[in-house]
Structure 1
Amino acid sequence: MPRMIDRLFNLIDKTSEQSTRKAAQSYGRRSFLAKAGTVMAGAMLAPVLPFDRSLGGAAFAGTLEDENDCSYWKHCALDGNLCSTSGGSLTSCPPGTEASKVAWVGTCRNPADDKDYLVSYNDCCGRATVPSSTFCLTSEGERPGYRMGLHNDINWCMANTNKGYHCTVSVVLGVANG
Structure 2
Amino acid sequence: MFTKLEKMLQILDSRAEKQARKSAETHGRRGFLSKVGGLMVASALFPVLPFDRSMGKAYASDGSSVFDETSCDYWRYCALDGTLCNDSGGTNTSCPPGSDASKVAWVGTCLNPDDGKDYLVSYNDCCGKAALVGSTFCFTSQDERPGYRMGLHNDINWCMANDNKGYYCTVALLVGIVDE
Counting matched residue pairs gives 124
Q: Could you say what secondary structure the match of 2:109 adopts? A: strand
Q: Could you say what secondary structure the match of 2:59 adopts? A: helix
Letter in 2 for 1:149: G
2:107 and 2:122 in contact (8 A); partners too: yes
What aligned pairs does 1:64-83 form with structure 2 within 5 A after superposition?
A: 65-83=67-85
For structure 2, which runs of at least 5 residues remain unmatched after alignment?
1-53
- Structure 1 length normalisation: TM-score? 0.66
CA distance in 2, matches of 1:122, 1:133: 17
Aligned match of 2:17: none
- Structure 2 length normalisation: TM-score? 0.65
Letter in 2 for 1:103: A
1:58 and 1:64 in contact (8 A); partners too: no
Task: Give the RMSD, CA atoms, in angstroms.
Answer: 2.2
1:57 equivalent to 2:57? Answer yes
Give the percent of matched residue pairs that are identical in Structure 1 and Structure 2: 67
1:129 alignment partner, one of 128, 131, 134: 131
Letter in 2 for 1:102: V
What aligned pairs does 1:114-125 form with structure 2 within 5 A after superposition?
A: 114-125=116-127
2:65 and 2:73 in contact (8 A); partners too: no
1:142 equivalent to 2:144? Answer yes
Letter in 2 for 1:133: S
CA distance in 1, matches of 2:138, 2:168: 13
CA distance in 1, matches of 2:133, 2:118: 32
Q: Could you say what secondary structure the match of 1:131 adopts? A: coil
Cα deviation for residue 57 of structure 1 reads: 2.8
For structure 1, which runs of at least 5 residues remain unmatched after alignment?
1-53
What aligned pairs does 1:10-159 form with structure 2 within 5 A after superposition?
A: 56-59=56-59, 65-159=67-161
- Which is greater in Rg? 2
